[in-house]
Amino acid sequence: MKSKIKVSVLGGTGMVGQIYISLLLNHPWFQIVDIAASKKSSGKSFKEVLKNRWKIKTNFPDQINNLVLRDIFDFNSIPNDVQIVFTAAELEDKIKTQELEFKYANHGYSVVSNTSANRWTDDVPMIIPEINSDHLEIIEKQQKKRNFPKNGFVVSKSNCSIQSFLVAIDALNKSGFNVNKINVTTMQALSGGGIKIINDKNYQNNLIPFINGEEEKTENEPLKIFGKVQDNKIIKSKNLSINAFCSRVPIIDGHSAVVQLQFDNKVPKISEILHIWENYKSIPQFLKLPTAPEFPIKYLYEDDRPQTSLDIFNHKGMAVSIGRLKNDKIFDVKFFSLSHNTIRGAAGGAILVAELLYKQNFLKNLWKIKLKLEQVLQ
């Protein structure tokens, strides 16, 4: 690549925004040239706003010290060469967030969103690159329907918690063992709720058996991800039902889940499941995308693994760690899964989506490549 693609980060002062910045600083394809935040922070340097608010364990990014933050609603000050807009800007009003993302698309920017605003917009694909990259074909229809200019579109990524187990289920589905029922209990880290929750004493050394809206997301978002593009929208899968219970636990990073599965007809042996997981690769791996883990699933055989303190950074935080796979007395099988919620589940997952978009020249021939990949996997 002769020159890097210029990108903007919306909501760059928050928890996920900071993760975006840390992951993009030395990215081989992308370069940060713009960071947008609230009107209160706009006009100030990155260092001035964030030097004492940097929450990431990596060193403070001195190379962008002097970058002046832009008001998120100021479209006139966006550098001319910006092509991709990563957004972690969740406004108080969901409709306003949705409108903001569409406004950036209408200005010709490729928006990769980490917010929930457009996940259920029926012509906006909600992408986990290993699972449903074929849904990107709807972008052309989205552009036509909404009169977006060339390269202007919105792509969303899913909720962070479901990424700890959906890839494992996708691997089984693609191997001919179709899952039709999921019962899942999630234990979600504080960082999933942002900096305010991390600093809130009510959440420290405490377990709270409720997260507003999370159970609805966990039960419904996979249905869109496993759905199909039909006409000008994405239709939810009718072959899967999910029951979820979600809780907030007093750890900083790492969403985990206890997952029980029931299969449609053919039930795999434990040895077959392990073989599938340990050999599973998908489009990001075959395309050698920079952020893609070599193997999306890492199985750990120890009885007390995976653990948040030991395993969330497997493959730089982009792999899903799984353990304790067993036969189940009520369902067919059960297992424990873990993923890094702000890397795989948020900024890293969104960057992986952007890499896929770039590698495919924004959708051209994507479904042909998927077909070839499926032939390879067979």
CB 234 within 8 A of CB 163: no
Give the residues across from 339 on adjacent strands.
255
**255 is an active site residue:** yes
Identify the pLDDT of residue 293: 98
Q: What are the sequence ranges of the domains in the chain? A: 5-159+348-371, 161-340
b or e along 227-242 (b: 16 or more beta carbons within 10 Å of the residue's beta carbon)?
A: bebeeeebebeeebeb
What pLDDT is attached to residue 366?
35
- Does the predicted model carry a pTM greater than 0.75? yes
Domain at 5-159+348-371: CATH code: 3.40.50.720
Do 233 and 142 form a contact (C-beta atoms < 8 A)?
no
User: Which residue in the list 135, 255, 315, 340 is annotated as catalytic?
Assistant: 255
Query: What is the pLDDT, as a whole number, of residue 205?
Result: 95
Backbone angles phi, psi at 327, to 5 degrees: -70, 150
If you average pLDDT over residues 265-273, what whole number do you get?
96
Confidence tier at 172 by pLDDT (50, 70, 90): very high
2 pLDDT band (50/70/90 cuts)?
A: low
Predicted pLDDT at 365: 37
Q: What is the pLDDT of residues 24-72, one digit of tens each?
A: 999 999 999 999 999 999 999 999 999 888 988 888 999 999 999 999 9
Q: Is 135 assigned a catalytic role? A: no
Nearest-angstrom CA–CA distance, 262 and 273 = 13
What percentage of the chain carries pLDDT values higher than 70?
A: 95
> What superfamily does domain 161-340 belong to in CATH?
Dihydrodipicolinate Reductase; domain 2 (3.30.360.10)
- CA–CA dist 169, 82 (Å, integer): 36
Q: Which one of 160, 246, 315, 340 is the catalytic residue? A: 160
> What tens digit of pLDDT does each residue of 193-224 get?
998 999 999 999 999 999 999 999 999 999 99
Q: What is the pLDDT of residue 361?
A: 76
